């Protein structure tokens, strides 16, 4: 099936033929749907914290962080192209006719091109934009006065100027301060210095696209001294790229392996689920995970930091209890009372409800099952009330025989043609903002191989376009979905104010992203 050139390509990418065979088999068989049992909610799989509880857990995190190696992992390979979609459409379609100009000037609603130009001077990247235009001996105010909108956008989005279309979102200016603007990357540095450090050093890890790695490193080199001086914290920052051996093949609608015009097999990135390999390489015991575009300026960081610390405190307390119970099970003859205690702990705190088979198990089988349930990576996931954001949410999944487990589920994982399953999915009241803290070591101090806990059946198959024709593409199980399907999971409700993503350029002028030039006080 594969010729010499195919095998040579496999070797270059680090892909094995049986990997491709498996992907093609999933195209033929389809990816399995998860079986939703119920939507998780406060009191039913989602913990809520009273203010004093949040403060107590945050204090626990602060007390322990110096003794537990921690890092913050930020997936940062995404391009900003989608962020500027509306402006790009305008740039390629606007003809500056009298009719189009009149219609443009009549638009004033937020999220429109007219609103963008009305407020362009308020955007944090305007200083840079003015400078690149001035470098060509032009004046942005005169361009605005003459309604030369296309030329301004070319300086913003194309290689003629800032080239934001080809810039990763992490390197876009997000927030304006008195003396400078901060990129999303810089905001993550500052945020990391507030909860992910040992008193001296903050560890951060960014997954980036290979072609942009040098840009991130150059920015870090230029700003590191400033933020170390302002925060009193040293930064240890590392980078990795998505591994080529996690790329996946595509097929045509009739099931044939997709090849390009030269006959070479077309590989595509396997989606954010591929980053489970990058996470697996991190050596720290505790890892915070947060998306690159979910940041706030200093004046709004307090709630985010408070609940990040609280999630960390819950994780540290829970893993200590897991380790305690795991050691009890290593004794030669744990009593029935001990087994009952451990089972109740798992039921109440680890997002697992035993099924019928567990209820019928004898003592030996029961001990074995409890060991398996405890001996897994642990994650604590912040959840916000759903206000219409697309994406995954918290659910109970499983069956009466096998039991039920908490899991983050995307719509693509659900059989929405099934009325009952669709009903459960639509009843979800909370949303996954990717506010996660993980523990990846067991009670003996040994690191888990995280690949052992991936559910490969939870891959995604979607439709894309290639050279003008429809194709089917496959993504690996999502990083916080199928890639963590067999982790112990705790859901905690966090305030909506801790979730401030920038999906479009217009989001940068939402009130939570506007600054008042007051720097954060570091403690």
**10-residue block means of pLDDT along the chain (523 residues)?**
87 91 89 92 96 97 96 92 92 82 76 91 95 95 92 96 96 92 97 95 96 96 96 97 93 89 90 95 98 94 96 98 94 86 93 80 86 96 86 91 93 92 94 96 97 92 86 93 96 96 95 69 48
pLDDT of res. 520:
52
44 and 147 in a single domain? The answer is no
CA–CA separation, 114 and 105 (whole Å): 6
Residue 285: CATH number of its domain: 3.90.550.10
89 and 194 in a single domain? The answer is no
pTM over 0.75: yes
208 and 253 in a single domain? The answer is yes
**Phi-psi region at 96: left, alpha or beta (left = phi > 0; alpha = psi -120 to 50):** left
CA–CA separation, 253 and 479 (whole Å): 27
User: Would you say 493 and 42 are in contact if contact means Cβ atoms under 8 Å apart?
Assistant: yes
326 and 296 in a single domain? The answer is yes
**Bridge partners of 46?**
42, 491
230 and 143 in a single domain? The answer is no
CA–CA separation, 259 and 465 (whole Å): 13
User: Terminal CA-to-CA distance of the chain, rounded, Å?
Assistant: 61
47 and 93 in a single domain? The answer is no
- Closest of 506, 483, 365 to residue 434, by C-alpha: 483
What length does the chain have? 523
- Closest of 9, 448, 23, 500 to residue 271, by C-alpha: 23
pLDDT of res. 521:
52
184 and 226 in a single domain? The answer is yes
Q: What is the separation of C-alpha 36 from the centre of its chain, rounded to a whole number of angstroms? A: 22
User: Would you say 83 and 502 are in contact if contact means Cβ atoms under 8 Å apart?
Assistant: yes
- Closest of 98, 56, 120 to residue 316, by C-alpha: 56
- Closest of 71, 13, 54 to residue 267, by C-alpha: 13
476 and 354 in a single domain? The answer is yes
pLDDT of res. 523:
46
pLDDT of res. 129:
97
Q: Is residue 475 part of a domain?
A: yes
List own/partner pairs for 463-468 with CB under 8 A and 24 or more apart: 464/250, 466/250, 466/258, 466/266, 467/261
273 and 307 in a single domain? The answer is yes
pLDDT of res. 111:
84
User: Would you say 336 and 328 are in contact if contact means Cβ atoms under 8 Å apart?
Assistant: no
Q: Which domain holds residue 140?
A: 81-166
Q: Is residue 238 part of a domain?
A: yes
Give how many domains the chain has, as a whole number: 2
**Phi-psi region at 72: left, alpha or beta (left = phi > 0; alpha = psi -120 to 50):** beta
């Amino acid at each position: 099936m594969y010729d010499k050139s195919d095998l040579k390509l496999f070797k270059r990418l680090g892909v094995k033929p049986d990997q491709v065979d498996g992907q093609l088999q999933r195209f033929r068989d389809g990816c399995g749907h998860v079986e939703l049992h119920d939507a998780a909610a406060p009191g039913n799989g989602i913990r809520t914290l009273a203010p004093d509880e949040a403060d107590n857990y945050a204090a626990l995190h602060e007390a322990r962080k110096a003794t537990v190696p921690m890092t913050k992992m930020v997936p940062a390979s995404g391009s900003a192209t989608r962020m500027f979609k509306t402006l790009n459409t305008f740039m390629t379609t606007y003809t500056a006719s009298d009719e189009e100009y009149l219609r443009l000037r009549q638009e004033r609603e937020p999220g429109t091109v007219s609103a963008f130009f009305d407020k362009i001077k308020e955007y944090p990247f305007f200083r840079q934009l003015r400078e690149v235009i001035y470098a060509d001996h032009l004046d942005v105010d005169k361009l605005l006065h003459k309604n030369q909108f296309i030329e301004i956008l070319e300086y913003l989005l194309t290689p003629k100027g800032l080239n934001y279309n080809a810039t990763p979102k992490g390197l876009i200016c997000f927030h304006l301060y008195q003396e400078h603007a901060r990129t999303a990357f810089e905001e993550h540095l500052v945020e990391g210095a507030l909860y992910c450090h040992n008193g001296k050093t903050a560890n951060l890890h960014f997954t980036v696209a290979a072609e942009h790695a040098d840009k991130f490193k150059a920015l870090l080199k230029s700003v590191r001294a400033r933020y170390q001086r302002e925060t009193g914290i040293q930064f240890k920052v590392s980078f990795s790229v998505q591994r080529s051996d996690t790329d996946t093949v595509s097929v045509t609608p009739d099931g044939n392996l997709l090849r390009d015009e030269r006959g070479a097999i077309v590989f595509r990135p396997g989606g954010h689920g591929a980053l489970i390999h990058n996470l697996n390489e991190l050596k720290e015991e505790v890892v915070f995970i947060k998306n690159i575009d979910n940041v706030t300026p200093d004046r709004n960081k307090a709630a985010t930091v408070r609940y990040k610390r609280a999630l960390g405190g819950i994780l540290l307390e829970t893993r200590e209890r897991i380790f305690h119970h795991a050691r009890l099970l290593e004794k030669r003859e744990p009593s029935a009372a001990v087994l009952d205690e451990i089972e109740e702990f798992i039921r109440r705190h680890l997002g697992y409800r035993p099924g019928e088979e567990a209820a019928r198990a004898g003592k030996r089988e029961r001990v074995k099952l409890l060991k398996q349930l405890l001996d897994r990576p642990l994650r604590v996931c912040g959840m916000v009330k759903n206000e219409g954001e697309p994406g995954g949410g918290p659910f109970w999944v499983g069956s009466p025989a096998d039991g039920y487990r908490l899991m983050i589920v995307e719509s693509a994982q659900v059989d929405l043609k099934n009325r009952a399953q669709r009903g459960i999915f639509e009843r979800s009241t909370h949303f996954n903002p990717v506010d996660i803290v993980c523990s990846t070591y067991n009670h003996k101090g040994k690191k888990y191989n995280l690949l052992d806990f991936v559910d490969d059946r939870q891959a995604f198959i979607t439709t894309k376009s290639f050279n003008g024709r429809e194709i089917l593409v496959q993504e690996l199980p999502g990083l916080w979905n199928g890639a963590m399907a067999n982790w112990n999971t705790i859901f905690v409700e966090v305030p909506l104010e801790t979730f401030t993503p920038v999906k479009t350029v217009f989001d940068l002028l939402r009130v939570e992203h506007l600054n008042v030039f007051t720097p954060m006080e570091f403690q």
